[in-house]
Structure 1
Amino acid sequence: MKLLLYDACVYTQNDIMDVLQRMHIPFRNIVYKLKDTEHDEFFFYHFSKIIKEDTYDAVFSVNYYPIIAQICYKENIKYISWSYDSPLNIPNIEKTLGYATNFFFLFDRIEYKKYKNMGFDTVYHLPLGINGTRLGGIEISDLDRKKYTVDISFVGEIYDSLFSHLLAPLPEYDKGYIEALVAAQLNIYGYFFIDEMITDEWMEQINKAYRSLGQETPLKKHGLSAAIAKQVTHIERITLLGILSEIFKVRHYGRKTDPLLSKVDFAGTVNYYTEMPKVFRLSKINVNPTLKCIQSGIPLRALDILASKGFLL
């Protein structure tokens, strides 16, 4: 077997290459930043050319790219993709997902069933994976112990979404309805019902309000759903960290903190490969409130914690 890898510089790419090397599976890795996941003439031409330069059994990418699906269908080569995003936010995915050359793996079983029920036989369920050899083999120094040891850690974003800006142009009824959806979803675990509550008629009503203010680009259903999910997750994470910080030493690693978390030690970002595993290993407890719209899958961060020999609550 020989694979052609597309590399969009995602977190897991290096781990995948490391595992392939240890399994003695030859591959070629192509790094390129797509300008458009559907249309990129330069990439289409050159990636097609690369496929023809050697005998590859399949093309592989982390996450699904419609343009690669198009190329693989044209060249009649298998396209294997493994997504760590949920829910998917891929415009016009239905146009290419049905190609017989596709083998698309989703880690959230409910999302997999959604596409399966739509008639796509090219989707499969596969939990996410991690490089246990790398994560489990991280060496800890005395300096690391001083730097990273803490009662409770959270590595991730607070999701300070543009929720208030999203609501601002809307009539009071629509604002109240969305706020009620957020409040209801906060009390329900294991089931994300927001998508069922967003109808096409309501989206048209919302976009009418935006158009009245000169916004021509319409808000899509998945965009509103994602914004609500992030707002719910934002509230959950703020609440959890705030309560815990009243009793324990809590540290948050991320790009941004929140004024409400005055008792939480904000430590900025950590490197995914060299620092994050040490944080997980040396924290007495790791917390990881999951993005609300992930319904049944175990997110990558949870697996990273466990593989780093950390305790996840």
Structure 2
Amino acid sequence: MGYKVAVVGATGNVGHVLLDILAERAFPADEVVALASRRSQGKEVSFGDKTLKTKALETYDFSDIDICLMSAGGDVSKEWAPRIAAQGAVVIDNSSAWRYDQDVPLIVPEVNADAAAGFSKKNIIANPNCSTAQLVVALKPLHDHAGIRRVVVSTYQSVSGAGKAGEDELDRQTRAVYSLQDAVTEKFQKRIAFNLIPQIDVFMEDGYTKEEWKMLAETKKILDPKIRLTATCVRVPVFVSHSEAVNVEFERPISADEAREILRAAPGIMVVDKREDGGYVTPVDATGEDATYISRIREDATVENGIAFWCVSDNLRKGAALNAVQIAEVLVNRKLISPKAR
């Protein structure tokens, strides 16, 4: 008997990719249900070679659902995740609503899959922020080898991280600039077309943005609470895939060659690091791919035991949908859940 899976937020950017990845990876589901708000009821979405009609979240009975993949925003998740979990479904949530709850595991399978066993406290598992997910995939094998003291990361985050509205705004503004019209700003704080915006999410009292704080808090929870991290998160005029420039200070010596070989052997990582023109990965190269790509690996001479590298990943896949499906696969493969009798 296979599982019955619900996808909440099926009409959104990540929802579409969730359905694609469930089909691509042949997840052992007898049935997949597409759910969204009432206003999207009846919309058709693709699932492999099938077409699903979207049903309304507000009226759906979850009593026979085994796994619910949620990507409908924090407010929806705060209201509905406990209700769905109370009906016996394991909720894997993409929003920030549950990431910092000590009774909710925050999982990146390549890093801390064992923590998934703690889901039963609330029947909820949290997916990390997209920028955190790719970062900890890269940091984990290096931390195991040499012990990370401190991380300095600058992110270059695509507009799809702000949803379809972000992509639409970049498209609309780009057309406006080329046609010598006003580039109207609605979604972002400033014009994004042909520009960079050093603000993602709201500012906090210490001057960091909430996105930057998320990277710190989530890295500590997923990887190691002793790691010190500072981040500068920047929105860039790229449609899909986040990039990160990362500097790491280690407790023990590690060379660039050692780091390169460690990363090559690590799960979920592809190293593309040729010291020549174009011998690295860009956001366009990573779009539609599952791997976290690492390039530009080199020693950082400004600190003892320092390594610098460039990290790129598709934020809609590893940063959200793929990671959620991988968590569901952990639950199934480790026999942490069984299908309900139907």
TM-score (norm 2): 0.32
**Structure index of larger Rg:** 1
Indicate the structure with greater strand content.
2
Indicate the structure with greater helix content.
1
TM-score (norm 1): 0.34
